[in-house]
């Protein structure tokens, strides 16, 4: 949080989380050479950046492309951060060696309103822990505490010292009421929701009984109105 990153954002996702704010964003087609040129330009213009962040959507849907892109970024001495839903472990196995940091989600079905991915997350974390890894859990007031604890127990079994960030959901997109589908900032008192922050306190205390490093992570870009 707070570092300068260059974001390479990939279109589309295999999931449909209720809180997703990436739906319907326009994209342009770019080659490996196009991306490299743009990343180098941005680094010169506004660097130094701590990382090139491969994000989405779901970047692992493009594993073949990443296999070609990552070595080119490494030649230019960039650190590579992969941000992912933490589900597509077969695809990760093909590019894990090229990543420096892996930021994986734990998707709680009580929040995403999608199916559960506990066993996929377990396989994913086993691979990801070869690298620097941290976990993000998007939470809302709908968190099922049994499901939450089951997921943290899995992390405790596989990689107990992994930092886990509890991130309050930014309610917009598919799951939001029409009135919420607009930019929100702390000045308008909407993000983060104060009632959810109190619940976060409970989630963090519960989590700290399972794991050594459970933190609250706010979406800084929302507070700073950065798109
Ligand atoms: S994994 Fe991320 S990009 Fe995909 S639907 Fe969920 S929130 Fe959106």
Residues with CB under 6 A from ligand 1: 13, 15-17, 20, 22, 56-58, 85
Angle, helices 118-128 vs 145-158, to 10°: value is 30
Residue 156 has pLDDT above 70, yes or no: yes
Give the whole-angstrom CA distance, residue 59 versus residue 27: 13
For 172-193, what is each residue's pLDDT tens digit? 544 444 444 443 434 444 666 7
By three-state DSSP, how is residue 117 classified? coil
- Reported pTM: 0.90
Q: Is the Cβ–Cβ distance between 169 and 112 less than 8 Å? A: no
pLDDT grade for 24, boundaries at 50, 70 and 90:
confident
Q: Where are the beta strands (DSSP E) in 140-204?
A: 164-168
Among 22, 25, 53, 59, the mutation site with the greatest number of ligand 1 atoms within 8 A of its Cβ is 22
Structure confidence at residue 171 (pLDDT): 63
Q: How far apart are the first and last CA of the chain?
A: 15
Q: Is the Cβ–Cβ distance between 121 and 86 less than 8 Å? A: yes
| DSSP-derived pairing of the beta strands 51-55 and 164-168 | unpaired
By three-state DSSP, how is residue 182 classified? coil
Q: Whose CA is nearest to atom 2 of ligand 1?
A: 57
Domains of the chain, first to last: 5-223 (3.20.20.70)
**Average pLDDT score over residue span 165-175:** 72
Give the whole-angstrom CA distance, residue 196 versus residue 54: 29
What is the chain's length? 227
**Average pLDDT score over residue span 18-26:** 83
**Average pLDDT score over residue span 123-128:** 98
- Cβ density class 80-91: b for 16+ within 10 Å, e for less: bbbbbbbbbbeb
**Average pLDDT score over residue span 20-40:** 92
Residue 16 Cα, ligand 1 centroid: separation in angstroms? 6
Q: What angle do CA 192, 193, 198 make, to 5 degrees?
A: 105
Residue 72 Cα, ligand 1 centroid: separation in angstroms? 26
Give the whole-angstrom CA distance, residue 202 versus residue 193: 15
Position in ligand 1 atom list of the atom nearest CA 85: 1
Lowest mean per-residue pLDDT among 2-11, 77-86, 157-166, 183-192: 183-192
Structure confidence at residue 183 (pLDDT): 39
By three-state DSSP, how is residue 60 classified? helix
Question: pLDDT > 90: what percent of the chain?
Answer: 78
Task: Determine if the peptide bond prior to 57 is cis (ω within 30°).
Answer: yes
Lowest mean per-residue pLDDT among 54-63, 101-110, 185-194, 201-210: 185-194
Q: Whose CA is nearest to atom 8 of ligand 1?
A: 20
Phi/psi of residue 5, nearest 5 degrees = -130, 155
Residue 76 has pLDDT above 90, yes or no: yes
User: What DSSP character marks residue 133?
Assistant: E
Q: Whose CA is nearest to atom 6 of ligand 1?
A: 17
Under 8 Å CB-to-CB from 91, ≥6 apart: which residues?
A: 60, 61, 63
Structure confidence at residue 26 (pLDDT): 85
Residues forming beta bridges with residue 166, ordered by sequence position: 137, 216
Structure confidence at residue 173 (pLDDT): 45
Angle, helices 194-210 vs 145-158, to 10°: value is 40
């Amino acid at each position: 949080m707070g570092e300068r990153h260059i974001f390479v954002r990939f279109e589309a996702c295999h999931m449909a989380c209720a809180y997703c704010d990436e739906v319907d964003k326009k994209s342009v087609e770019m080659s490996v050479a196009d991306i490299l040129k743009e990343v180098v330009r941005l680094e010169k213009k506004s660097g130094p950046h701590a990382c090139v962040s491969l994000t989405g959507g779901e970047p692992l849907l493009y594993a073949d492309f990443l296999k070609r892109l990552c070595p080119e970024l490494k030649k230019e001495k960039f650190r590579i951060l992969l941000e992912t839903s933490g589900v597509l472990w077969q695809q990760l196995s093909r590019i894990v060696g090229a990543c420096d940091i892996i930021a994986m989600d734990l998707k709680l079905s009580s929040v995403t309103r999608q199916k559960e991915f506990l066993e996929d997350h377990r396989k994913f974390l086993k691979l990801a822990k070869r690298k620097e890894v941290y976990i993000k859990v998007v939470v809302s007031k709908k968190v099922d505490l049994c499901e939450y604890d089951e997921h943290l127990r899995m992390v405790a079994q596989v990689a107990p010292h992994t930092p886990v960030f509890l991130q309050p959901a930014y309610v917009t997109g598919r799951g939001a009421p029409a009135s919420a589908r607009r930019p929100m900032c702390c000045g308008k008192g909407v993000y983060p929701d104060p009632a959810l922050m109190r619940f976060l306190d409970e989630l963090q205390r519960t989590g700290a009984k399972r794991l050594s490093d459970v933190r609250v992570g706010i979406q800084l870009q929302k507070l700073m109105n950065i798109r």
